[in-house]
Chains A and B, each alone.
Chain A
């Protein structure tokens, strides 16, 4: 019933799970749609500019606030950038930062949670109080304080976002580690002289992979959403660079005067991509049958 796909590589994901995983994921139509949406936006943002080339660095004050037309499919913004081109250009930052920050947060959270869960005792207690404290300080507030102090570049942004959002994955991984370290095969290994290192490397981490992958997917969704807030708070990348959140907040006031094309496309792009990552995470979680965010 559960024909095993032979391991292609130890960390190759698909190879580690029985074949029905793909089938189970494929049955979740929302999740499959999510994969398609993400693929579409990746192509749109990174391959799109090669096909539809626009100038996104120089302002063109003769072409400001134009409504959508044959020349500018999605119109132009207040400084004359083509909106469709800007959507691709801004999407590059949103996707790149979102993916990187989501992965960074998951890595930090995984390490923190695994150490806390495996060590147990007072180490665990102290580490989890730190997590509680982190959760108690709303990320938006920290980001606003940071923005009052400094304006980070793209790399700085990734680091800041990663540093404020690793808490949830750390709790998930800790819970997973707590169960795994008491699994019979780990107890057997420990009782027959296996080291902690081996238990963690060979059993606990590989068996947490599904939890971690699911957490990472949700984390990327949250990070992309968070970047939109960050730009709204004025901490985002600075012009002429931009991201979807930046486009959205730049167009906010214009929306009152009816220039919908300045806010609807980036708004929809954010919603679609975040939805897509959430749907993928949902589908993966059901397929892996792991606990996590509902």
Chain B
């Protein structure tokens, strides 16, 4: 019997502006011991399906159709019968480990609670079991960590605690909603290993919700692809990932950035650097709690080239970009922009210097002032640096720049709220390029975007760079993206430069152990290749 059986599921959300269907006619099943990956881009309804399977849909949602977990109907079931099911027959692991745990309850107690929700074991016995579970999910010193509060653990450890809660009562079904999306790539590899091992040990069926094709290739037996609330393609992982039949799946897979394993370095640029960080150190806070965000960092970007700044969270890559922009003053060391020491220039001269820089930041929502129209957003640098420019000329310039980033002129009058994430990032790009800068600093410009949208935005940047010849400091956590777009790469770790050099030789023949581990941890969206790499790593 299938542990999870979904037949003709429909979910509708009632919103302020009327009913919005999120899921339509979805049918799928999970057998004991197998992993079904539910993939799709944001808004495809994949998370809604997962929540519906647990009976955890928010109050504004209405579900229709049938969902049975181990033979028990979930749709329309009472809250108390669902509570008996959850945590015992079916469990769930969520995306955001930072917020998934009660901040005021010790992690051991949270695991024990799940045990005691379903089994009448004494408190002390549940506490012992909780420690055992922590050991099973690979938390070091589980006796001590059981009495830790969530904030005292790292993101990866927190996710392990959530997993421990999920497996506490050996459920038949484990639903994992983007379980590694918020984690660094090396941690992601560990968590995926853990989930795979736990599922294999106990014959648990897994419904894995993800947008990441590498994770799918690494973990899934079968795949269901969702598009706008419907399942468009289902099949074994090799079939779907290597020989997709549906046009959308083909498009999606084509857009996924892939790590390549061969290639040549591009010719080095000889001209003087546009921006140069020399031996920069930055410290946040004072006294014993001070954090060294950067330590002895030297980076340079030469005209026309793209330098990829990669690293995991906390590596200092964003701080380094902010130092280059003059937003964070270096504690020691120097920053020179276009050959001028940034810390020595003030007032008008500094502003003139900075007019040669364009900036695109990560968050498509926070990057644009929602109170301004698209035209006003793009025109802002003109108003700052070309104050004498007549209004008509400014309007023209804005329209031209919008077209440059492949946005229709008509968008000029719209508000950012009306645009999609990809459109917003292109508006940010237009704002960054309207003054024809010599340097573009892009901090994770596409990380918040779906892969197909990411591809378009990256292509626009690359194309404009060829056309306009600006240099680019490109901060990213995604090695595949950096490999594709950067000529040189700087790998950062814990505030220091781990290694740097031409992209291909650095990523194909890394000199440091850390870089090697980083590359090995990236799952490739090819199940056959990924299986080879995984066994290679373990061996």
A185: chain B residues at CB < 8 Å are 366-369, 377
User: Does B371 interact with chain A (Cβ within 8 Å)?
Assistant: yes
User: Does B197 interact with chain A (Cβ within 8 Å)?
Assistant: no
B431: chain A residues at CB < 8 Å are 188
A74 to chain B, nearest CB (A): 44
Say whether B384 contacts A198, CB under 8 Å. Answer: yes
User: Does B361 interact with chain A (Cβ within 8 Å)?
Assistant: yes
Say whether A191 contacts B17, CB under 8 Å. Answer: no
Chain A interface residue number, banded = 20 to 34
**Could you tell me the distance between the alpha carbons of A188 and B366 in the complex, rounded to whole angstroms?**
11
User: Does B497 interact with chain A (Cβ within 8 Å)?
Assistant: no
B415: chain A residues at CB < 8 Å are 2, 4, 18
**Could you tell me the distance between the alpha carbons of A202 and B383 in the complex, rounded to whole angstroms?**
11
Q: Across the two chains, which residue of chain B brings its CB closest to A180?
A: B369
Say whether A207 contacts B16, CB under 8 Å. Answer: no
User: Does B293 interact with chain A (Cβ within 8 Å)?
Assistant: no
In the complex, chain B residues 315-357 whose Cβ is within 8 Å of any chain A Cβ: 322, 325-327, 350-355, 357
Say whether A1 contacts B17, CB under 8 Å. Answer: yes
The contact string, 1 if C-beta is below 8 Å from chain A, for chain B 359-377, is: 1011100111111000001
In the complex, chain A residues 86-104 whose Cβ is within 8 Å of any chain B Cβ: none
User: Does B142 interact with chain A (Cβ within 8 Å)?
Assistant: no
User: Does A72 interact with chain B (Cβ within 8 Å)?
Assistant: no
User: Does B381 interact with chain A (Cβ within 8 Å)?
Assistant: yes
Q: A207's contact among B352, B358, B369, B381, by CB below 8 Å, is which?
A: B369
B441: chain A residues at CB < 8 Å are 191
In the complex, chain A residues 1-36 whose Cβ is within 8 Å of any chain B Cβ: 1-2, 4, 16, 18, 20, 23-24
In the complex, chain B residues 45-72 whose Cβ is within 8 Å of any chain A Cβ: none
Q: Across the two chains, which residue of chain B brings its CB closest to A190?
A: B327
Say whether B357 contacts A187, CB under 8 Å. Answer: no
B260: chain A residues at CB < 8 Å are none
User: Does A138 interact with chain B (Cβ within 8 Å)?
Assistant: no
Q: Across the two chains, which residue of chain A brings its CB closest to B363?
A: A184
Q: A18-B417, A183-B366, A188-B361 are in contact. Are A24 and B16 (CB under 8 A)?
A: yes
User: Does B239 interact with chain A (Cβ within 8 Å)?
Assistant: no
A178 to chain B, nearest CB (A): 15
A200 to chain B, nearest CB (A): 13
B366: chain A residues at CB < 8 Å are 183-185
Tell which of B353, B358, B370 has the most Cβ of chain A within 10 Å.
B370
Q: A16-B371, A184-B363, A203-B369 are in contact. Are A193 and B17 (CB under 8 A)?
A: no
Say whether A191 contacts B384, CB under 8 Å. Answer: no
User: Does B529 interact with chain A (Cβ within 8 Å)?
Assistant: no
Say whether B325 contacts A191, CB under 8 Å. Answer: yes
Say whether A191 contacts B363, CB under 8 Å. Answer: no
B377: chain A residues at CB < 8 Å are 185
B322: chain A residues at CB < 8 Å are 191
User: Does A194 interact with chain B (Cβ within 8 Å)?
Assistant: yes
The contact string, 1 if C-beta is below 8 Å from chain B, for chain A 179-211, is: 000011101111111110010001100110000
Q: Across the two chains, which residue of chain A brings its CB closest to B381?
A: A192
User: Does B19 interact with chain A (Cβ within 8 Å)?
Assistant: no
User: Does B380 interact with chain A (Cβ within 8 Å)?
Assistant: yes
Q: Across the two chains, which residue of chain B brings its CB closest to A187?
A: B327
**Could you tell me the distance between the alpha carbons of A194 and B353 in the complex, rounded to whole angstroms?**
11
User: Does B418 interact with chain A (Cβ within 8 Å)?
Assistant: yes
A23: chain B residues at CB < 8 Å are 16
B226 to chain A, nearest CB (A): 22
**Could you tell me the distance between the alpha carbons of A184 and B365 in the complex, rounded to whole angstroms?**
9
A49 to chain B, nearest CB (A): 42
Say whether A192 contacts B355, CB under 8 Å. Answer: yes
The contact string, 1 if C-beta is below 8 Å from chain A, for chain B 129-167, is: 000000000000000000000000000000000000000
Say whether A194 contacts B380, CB under 8 Å. Answer: yes
User: Does B246 interact with chain A (Cβ within 8 Å)?
Assistant: no
Say whether B359 contacts A192, CB under 8 Å. Answer: yes
B367: chain A residues at CB < 8 Å are 184-185, 188
The contact string, 1 if C-beta is below 8 Å from chain A, for chain B 118-134, is: 00000000000000000
Tell which of B358, B384, B435 has the most Cβ of chain A within 10 Å.
B384
Tell which of A1, A18, A24, A207 has the most Cβ of chain B within 10 Å.
A1
B359: chain A residues at CB < 8 Å are 187-188, 191-192
**Could you tell me the distance between the alpha carbons of A18 and B416 in the complex, rounded to whole angstroms?**
11
Say whether A191 contacts B326, CB under 8 Å. Answer: yes
B262 to chain A, nearest CB (A): 37
**Could you tell me the distance between the alpha carbons of A18 and B350 in the complex, rounded to whole angstroms?**
38
A190 to chain B, nearest CB (A): 6
**Could you tell me the distance between the alpha carbons of A190 and B329 in the complex, rounded to whole angstroms?**
13
B369: chain A residues at CB < 8 Å are 183, 185, 202-203, 206-207
* Closest 9 pairs (CB-CB, A-B): A193-B354, A193-B351, A191-B325, A184-B366, A184-B361, A184-B367, A188-B359, A4-B415, A185-B369
Name 10 extra pairs, CB < 8 A, besides A193-B354, A193-B355: A4-B415, A20-B17, A183-B369, A189-B380, A191-B354, A192-B357, A192-B358, A192-B432, A193-B384, A206-B371
- Contact residues of B with A, CB < 8 Å? 16-17, 322, 325-327, 350-355, 357-359, 361-363, 366-371, 377, 380-381, 384-385, 414-415, 417-418, 428, 431-432, 435, 441
21 contacts between A and B (CB under 8 A): A2-B418, A4-B414, A4-B415, A4-B417, A4-B418, A18-B415, A23-B16, A184-B361, A185-B366, A185-B368, A188-B359, A191-B326, A191-B354, A191-B357, A193-B350, A195-B351, A195-B384, A202-B380, A203-B369, A206-B369, A206-B371
